[in-house]
Amino acid sequence: MKHVFFFFIFFVIFVEPVYSYLDPGTGSMLAQLVMGGVAGVLVVFKLYWKKVKSFFIKTNSNPEKDDTSQKE
Amino acid sequence: MSLTPDPASFRDPAGRIFTKNKRIFRLVSARGAHNYQIVRDTKFISKMAGLDKIIETLEVDPSIIDDPDLTPHYVLEHPRLPFISYPYEWCFPMLKKAALLHLELQLQALDEGLMFSDASAYNIQFKGTQPIFIDSLSIQPYRDGQIWEGHRQFCEQFLNPLLLRSLMGITHNAWYSGNLEGIPSGELSKMLPWYKKFSRNLFLHIVLPSRLNNLAKNEKADTLSSMSHKLPRETLTKIFTQLFTWIGKLEPLSSSSSIWGDYSSIHCYEPEEVAEKQNFVSNFIQKTQPEIVWDLGCNTGEYSELALRSGAKQVIGFDFDQLALEKSFERAERNCLNFLPLFLDGANPSPSQGWNCQERKSFLDRKNADAVLALAFEHHLAIGCNIPLDQLIDWLINLAPCGILEFIPKEDPNLKLMLRRREDIFDNYCEDSFRNILEQKCRIICSKIISKSNRTLYWFERPTS
């Protein structure tokens, strides 16, 4: 479990997410859930996991997308 | 006559502040009435008011408002505070004290089943050296499992400015004054050295929320709301307690570079000269009997304390040097003085700003002094910032109907130091011009040379217009 937490902290500090607009309280809300324990950590982990998944899916589908757009 | 709400009171639809005949009223709207009743019945506010931690709140007859356009459910009256100050004018120990009060009140409120709806530092004011909470409507019933909605605001308005000084030795005042919502966590996080981000508290309160905020930016609202789990009450208590302990231990990063913090030991008066200066100031206060004195360039508060001991009721001190302000605040606390030392850059005083340029009042809009002291102050503006002597004297004498101005001549060692590496472009800066300008604008009651270098004190009285 300790390793999971360490990985989580490392990930948060060194992986820079993209910027756009959102209500600025969301980060605080999620951070409090993390302070609340494992359940909160999992919620946040899910968010990160989604990003990782979407990153790979996007990368794989990119060439196809480009092709389609050229055809159109 | 229709009343207009205080320009700073617009954010919370539960109520607004109005001033009528110099009395301060809070009008509770239909929207805020239910919560107000619950909070009032807990007696939390009256208990805390008894301890001087929350401003006294009296329910008065709504008919006192007498304005057909206003139909409040309740009308509350608060005592008028003599001076409103802002967090960007406070020094480190003041902001720290205010932060600790906020957390202490949060903890006690939670015990009573209550919770603060926000964590604005502007909701805290100072009565002497004691912080006091002034926005009773931001206390609301606690809902089971609710998160701390004011966490981000608390970090940006209290914690981050303290960390800026404590971790990096950077004072918060200029940044805070330019960004009234405080120091954004995202910005502070960027400034932290990477290894500091592993510190537990910094990670949880600064790094993590700002990263998660960015991470969640592209999420849909539904995804986020499905994630909002309940926060156990014990966690909330733990967050407040941990922050309280952490902030309680924060100290400014040690610095030996303050010029004026050491003023008491480096100023250039002989002991008998000090006594003469003290007698002059003390005599002025005893004769003019001012209730409120503004001490510009208050330094470590030596003459502010003297003014209070000579009969003034309250002194508001101003200085630009952080260490001097901290020493002033320490003096005020140690000797239980009604003395409020605030940050002021004389060449750039606090402006009217915020929404519609009215939300936070300027330095001049809050003018309330019966007398002003400007001891060894004018040369910082006249020589240090090239402010023309006539404009400077005008500005100073318009701060209060009477006061003492000290003139520092070019022969003075401190002034020589200021001119050491620059061209002397101040042809009109001399005692004669100073006296002439002052005489043209007001009455000089008396003057006295108080040092070998011919520093001179002028007691002036402005004609009443």
* pLDDT at position B430 over 50: yes
Asked if A9's CB is within 8 angstroms of B209's CB, the reply is no
Q: ipTM value of the model?
A: 0.73
Share of chain B above pLDDT 70, in %: 94
Model pLDDT, residue A43: 75
Model pLDDT, residue B227: 63
The dihedral through the CA atoms of B385, B390, B321, B170 has a sign that is negative
Model pLDDT, residue A37: 79
Please tell me if residue B187 touches chain A, with a CB cutoff of 8 Å.
no
The dihedral through the CA atoms of B400, B19, B31, B144 has a sign that is positive
Torsion angle of C-alpha atoms A29, A31, A34, A36, degrees rounded to 10: -60
Asked if B194's CB is within 8 angstroms of A51's CB, the reply is no
Please tell me if residue B4 touches chain A, with a CB cutoff of 8 Å.
no
Which residues have C-beta within 8 Å of that of residue B281, sequence separation ≥ 6?
B303, B306, B307, B310, B373, B375, B404, B457
d(CA B89, CA B397): 22
Which residues have C-beta within 8 Å of that of residue B144, sequence separation ≥ 6?
B230, B233
Output the CA angle B184-B185-B189, nearest 5 degrees: 125
Asked if B215's CB is within 8 angstroms of A28's CB, the reply is no
Model pLDDT, residue B406: 98
Measure A54 CA to nearest chain B CA, in Å. Answer: 12
Given pLDDT bands bounded at 50, 70 and 90, which one contains residue A72?
very low
Question: What is residue B19's three-state secondary structure?
Answer: strand
Give CA separation, B285 vs B306, B316, B374, in Å.
Answer: 9, 15, 14
Model pLDDT, residue A21: 42
Q: Which residue of chain A is at minimal alpha-carbon distance from B200?
A: A9
Given pLDDT bands bounded at 50, 70 and 90, which one contains residue A68?
very low
Q: State the DSSP code for B440.
A: H
* pLDDT at position B465 over 70: no
B263-461 belongs to CATH 3.40.50.2000: no
Tokens 């701060």 sit on residue: B399
Q: Please name every residue paired with B133 in a beta bridge, in sequence order, or none if there are none.
A: B54, B124
- What values do phi and psi take at B357, rounded to 5? 55, 30
Tokens 């480096």 sit on residue: B266
Asked if A33's CB is within 8 angstroms of B147's CB, the reply is yes
Chain B residues in contact with A9 by the CB 8 A cut-off are: 198, 203
d(CA B374, CA B407): 9
d(CA B308, CA B128): 12
Instruction: Between B245 and A54, name the one with better pLDDT.
Output: B245
Q: Tell me the pLDDT tens digit for each residue of B135-171.
A: 999 999 999 999 899 999 999 999 999 999 999 999 9
CATH fold of B87-249, please?
A: Transferase(Phosphotransferase); domain 1 (1.10.510)
Asked if A27's CB is within 8 angstroms of B216's CB, the reply is yes
Given pLDDT bands bounded at 50, 70 and 90, which one contains residue B257?
low
d(CA B436, CA B90): 37
Q: What is the largest CA-CA distance in chain A?
A: 51
Given pLDDT bands bounded at 50, 70 and 90, which one contains residue A38?
confident
This prediction's pTM:
0.90
List the single best residue of A30, A47, A52 to mutate versus B (max B Cβ within 10 A). Answer: A30
d(CA B449, CA B256): 32
H helix runs in B155-232, sequence order: 160-168, 173-178, 185-191, 200-202, 208-216, 221-227
Model pLDDT, residue B397: 97
Which amino acid, residue B87?
A: P
Model pLDDT, residue B217: 73
Model pLDDT, residue B214: 79
Chain B residues in contact with A20 by the CB 8 A cut-off are: 217-218
Model pLDDT, residue B270: 84
Given pLDDT bands bounded at 50, 70 and 90, which one contains residue A51?
confident
Q: Tell me the pLDDT tens digit for each residue of B15-61.
A: 999 999 999 999 999 999 999 999 999 999 999 999 999 999 999 99
Q: What is the largest CA-CA distance in chain B?
A: 76
Mean local confidence (pLDDT), A35-64: 72
Mean local confidence (pLDDT), B323-342: 97
Model pLDDT, residue B26: 96
Asked if A21's CB is within 8 angstroms of B235's CB, the reply is no
Tokens 């472009």 sit on residue: B425
Instruction: Between B174 and A31, name the one with better pLDDT.
Output: B174
User: Mean pLDDT in chain B?
Assistant: 93
Q: Tell me the pLDDT tens digit for each residue of B64-114.
A: 988 888 889 999 999 999 999 999 999 999 999 999 999 999 999 999 999
Nearest to B227 among A9, A28, A43 (CB): A43
> What is the b/e burial string over B435-463, where b = at least 16 CB atoms within 10 angstroms of the residue's CB?
eebbeebbeeeebeebbebebbbbbbebe
Given pLDDT bands bounded at 50, 70 and 90, which one contains residue A20?
very low
Please tell me if residue B227 touches chain A, with a CB cutoff of 8 Å.
yes
What angle in degrees, to the nearest 10, is found between the helix axes of B233-249 and A26-35?
A: 100
Q: Tell me the pLDDT tens digit for each residue of B382-420.
A: 999 999 999 999 999 999 999 999 999 999 999 999 999
Instruction: Between B231 and B215, name the one with better pLDDT.
Output: B231
Measure A25 CA to nearest chain B CA, in Å. Answer: 6
